[in-house]
Structure 1
Amino acid sequence: MLPVDLQILKYIFFEKPIYHYKIKPYLKWKSYGNLQRQLQTYEPDFEIAKKNLNEVDYTIFDLETTGFLPEIGHEIISIGAVRIHGLDSCYRKKLHQVIRPIRPVNKQTLRLTGLTKERLKNSSPFIEGFQNFLDFSEGSILVAHPAKFDMRFLQAMLKRWKLPAYHPQVLDSHLMAQWLFPDIKHQLDPLLKHLGIEKRERHHALNDAIMTSELFCHLMRLTMNEGINTAEDLQNQLYKK
């Protein structure tokens, strides 16, 4: 594999123009225009962050990608999400969206995710997959582990597709774990083991979202035991200096 600096140069001067050429036909789709208008008028729900943590909806999600650097053309190839209301249920609604990439996916990524070239070829393009996720998560607070990575990837993909930015209310379960369990490694696997949460097959977007939702429920109960009762208060705790 090329060093990162050479990958960047390769992407800028060779792959990026090809990528833009390949997505050009999609920009004329009706679904593209609908998504563009929806994002242009999208406004984050600040009021939801002021409600009691046990009275709002959460969409816990995970992305499977072709790499860690969307800035050099790595893509989202699947989204898994679980929507819950408060702490009543960790599996109220589920979404598993496979996304057709523009660039070829290497064998290592296919083995890791369990996806096949045929399934990717027959799946929806990013604009339709993201639209499904947007509809699924509407009116909820997004949760990811770590949210910084997943939100960065989503924003980079939207920018690459010449779409407006997306700024929902977000909670980071990784930061919650750092705060609540300072002496434990904060990756998903050590936390699942520590809390006795059943481990499912990893690097499957929906499985990872389900496990993260179970982790999030544990973290939420501990958070409320600390006297924090709104997402706004929790954000202040997690990001205080």
Structure 2
Amino acid sequence: MPRKQKRKLLEQPQPVINRWFAIKAIRISRPYVESTLRVYLRAKLTYQERKRSAALTSALDTTIKELKKLNASKFESLKVFFNLSLFFLIAEKDIQAVKVDALSHPDAWKRNLSLRIMLLVIHEWDMAKVAPANKLREAYEAASISQELREEMTEAFRKINKAHSKAKQLLAHARHATIAHRDADAMLQYETITNLDAMETMKVAASFYEGADLFIQALPKVMLEAGSIHSLLKQYSRHA
């Protein structure tokens, strides 16, 4: 039985022809559209991040200056809180430094490398290392931190730790194979790098920031209470 010949494109129904040309047009124009959007996004992000970068630098400088003064003092609780703040700010500054490139750099490899740096920072950003629960409880007690603020900090840590755990599960393989140790299987390393999902990485970063936002709101209030006259006198008397 003779095979039925395929009908030529222009012999197809009009909706089929229209759909074919639409798909073709999208495929041809997509790289140009993405490039244009990336240029726009880069300009917008660079402008938005300029103020944030300046604010982070100022906060870092102030925190470092105060922590250096505190290291020679007997205000142990304040040292704990300022050290926690500095730990957070350093990681925040690292992510802020590569965020624009991760989202909008014109070179694909540079975007990918910036994403991988973000993964490494998030993966290693373990607040429990710098402020174990028992050490934090002692600092609260010594500084007479209110129960309300303790609960705010506990909730912030709970969300940060949950997001951090999720990040470690999602990113452990990419981190191990492409950043921290470099897998000996070069092809596996290359495929892991090139298959890195930018959107999934940014989702992980966003979920981590949800907990971090609570921390940013709570910690300054804790530091203010710890810096009150009553609190400073109590901290001093414990180590006099």
Task: Name the structure with the higher strand share.
Answer: 1
Fold shared by both chains (TM-score > 0.5): no
TM-score class normalised by the smaller sequence: under 0.3
TM-score by length of 1: 0.25
TM-score by length of 2: 0.25
